[in-house]
Structure 1
Amino acid sequence: MKKVIPLLILFVALGYSIFQLYEKKEEEKKVSNNNDAYIASIEKLGVQVGQQAPDIQLMTLDEKKVNLSSFKGKKVILNFWATWCPPCQDEIPALEKFHQEHKDIEMIGVADYIGEKKDLNFIKNFVNKNSMNYRILIDENGDNFRKYGVISIPTTYFINPNGEVVFKQIGPLTEKQLNAFLK
């Protein structure tokens, strides 16, 4: 009997551990499903694939005004981002690599200026530190983020030469997605 009790305790502990592991997996599934539903719902907001890209006015790092419509006739990748956003930082190398390999495509990073407390020098230093050689423009008051319906960053739009949105990505881009824009 003395040998049975420790064995019984071991089986109960093992059973309890397996039950806890199962419960944890079920909870992870629920969180994942909720996250997928959230992403699907925010994808329906703002500018959609097939629509004309709204013309927006942005500020360059040297404080000049630029309209998106000035790039009509070119393929454009319009990437809404912020310096404080880890997923935005994660995609910078892929964006920069793509930019270096495809100079015929206009790569535009639209920086969140409000979240940066309107500190242009901070953004300039961030751009230099991260070797961002593609065009960085500033959304001075958040109007352009709102015009495109951007509520999660990074959000990126691929725009064809006719000004039509042909792809929308919420979340960081991969090299594979960027290269699909070449077709």
Structure 2
Amino acid sequence: MNPDLLKTYYSITKIKIAKHWFFLSLLAGLAFSCSNENQVEQHLSDLKLVDLNGKVISPKELEGKKVFLNLWATNCRPCIQEMPSIKSAAEELKNDNYIFLAASEESIDEIKKFASSKDFGLDLIQIQTPVTKLGASALPHTLIFNEDGELIYQHTGAATWDNPEMLTKLFSL
């Protein structure tokens, strides 16, 4: 057999093998990235919420209600700035089957301290599920769950929740 032809055949075979390994490694990477390890929680019952008395809020207590869950922190200026509009939206939607909760990962004592210094009239609670598991890369981060506890809407960043456009959106969910 011609040595040049043999070299060409050998080169083509190496390229084919390299392509196969490349595609196999891509598939393996895709399968790894789709594992449940980094999955975002999508159901209200997957969350651990605690009131300021230390009582776990049961998913049964929230069943059949739309839940507006605002994730915030006591040192987050945009979080605090949007609280009056959340309270106002809660008042506008009080007859639309909504429960409004503002949840922080901070200690219950920290949240109580904040609540005693600034009264926004919101139900402040602690969330013990890491907010990163909820897809929150920044605060404030708001999640809305339907009556079946399914996540139906997310918003990252401060919002004016009581403006007509936002209220229309909330009414329609």
TM-score bracket relative to the smaller structure: 0.5 to 0.7
Q: 1:66 to 1:46 in 2, by over 3 A?
A: same
- Displacement, 1:168? 0.8
SS in 2 for 1:182: helix
Alignment of 1:54-133 (within 5 A): 55-68=46-59, 70-103=61-94, 104-113=97-106, 118=107, 120-133=108-121
One-letter identity of the residue aligned with 2:142: T
The residue that corresponds to 1:153 in the other structure is 139
| Rounded Cα–Cα distance in structure 1 between residues aligned with 2:168 and 2:100 | 13
Maintained 8 Å contact 1:46/1:150:
no
- Displacement, 1:179? 4.2
Listed one character per residue, the Cα deviations across residues 60-87 of structure 1 (whole Å, up to 9, x for unaligned) are: 1111111345312111101110010011
**Structure 1 regions of 5+ residues with no counterpart?**
1-44
| Rounded Cα–Cα distance in structure 1 between residues aligned with 2:60 and 2:70 | 16
Q: Which runs of 4+ in 1 moved over 6 A?
A: none
Q: Kindly, what percent of the aligned residue pairs are identical?
A: 27
Task: Give the TM-score of the pair, scaled to structure 1.
Answer: 0.61
| Rounded Cα–Cα distance in structure 1 between residues aligned with 2:55 and 2:142 | 23
- Displacement, 1:137? 1.3
The total of aligned residue pairs comes to 130
The residue that corresponds to 2:30 in the other structure is none
**Structure 2 regions of 5+ residues with no counterpart?**
1-37
SS in 1 for 2:124: strand
Listed one character per residue, the Cα deviations across residues 77-136 of structure 1 (whole Å, up to 9, x for unaligned) are: 0111001001101101101111233334100111121xxxx3x33321322333232221
Alignment of 1:34-49 (within 5 A): 47=40
Q: Note the aligned Cα RMSD (angstroms).
A: 2.3
The residue that corresponds to 1:42 in the other structure is none
